[in-house]
Amino acid sequence: MNRYPRNLRGYGPVPPNPQWPGGAKVAVQFVLNYEEGGENCVLHGDAASEAFLSDIPGAAQWPGQRHWNMESMYEYGARAGFWRLHRLFTQSDIPLTIYGVATALARSPEQVEAMKDAGWEIASHGLKWIEHKDMAEDEERAAIAEAIRLHTEVVGERPRGWYTGRCSENTVRLVAEEGGFAYVSDTYDDDLPYWLETGARDQLIIPYTLEANDMRFSVSPGWSDGEDFFNYLRNAFDTLYAEGAAGAPKMMSIGLHCRLAGRPGKIAALRKFIAHIQAHEGVWCPRRIEIAQHWADQHPPQQGLRPSRMDKPEFVETFGSIFEHSPWIAERAFDLELGPAHDCAAGIQNALCRMFRSASEEERLGVLTAHPDLAGKLAQAGRLTAESTSEQASAGLDLLTDEERERFTRLNTTYVEKHGFPFIIAVRDNNKASIMEAFHRRIDNDRETEFTEACRQVERIAHWRLRDLLP
- What does the alpha-carbon distance between residue 3 and residue 336 come to, in Å, rounded to a whole number? 8
**Of residues 249, 226, 219, the one with CA closest to residue 26:** 249
Pairing of strands 250-257, 26-34: parallel
C-alpha Rg value of the chain to the nearest Å? 30
Active site residue 371: yes
Active-site residue, selected from the candidate residues 67, 86, 257, 371: 371
Q: Is-contact 388 422, C-beta < 8 A?
A: no
Query: How many CB atoms neighbour CB 99 within 10 A?
Result: 30
Q: Which residues does 122 contact at the CB level (< 8 Å), separation at least 6?
A: 98, 100, 105, 112, 115, 116, 151, 155, 159
Q: Which residues does 319 contact at the CB level (< 8 Å), separation at least 6?
A: 307, 330, 333, 348, 352, 466, 469
Which helix (H) or strand (E) segment is 183 a member of?
strand 183-184
Q: Is-contact 305 470, C-beta < 8 A?
A: yes
Question: 254 - beta bridge partners?
Answer: 30
- What does the alpha-carbon distance between residue 452 and residue 356 come to, in Å, rounded to a whole number? 12
Q: Is-contact 431 396, C-beta < 8 A?
A: yes
Q: DSSP readout, 384-449?
A: S-HHHHHHHHHTTTTS--HHHHHHHHHHHHHHHHHHSS-----GGG--HHHHHHHHHHHTTS-HHH
Q: Is-contact 368 421, C-beta < 8 A?
A: yes
Catalytic center residues: 371
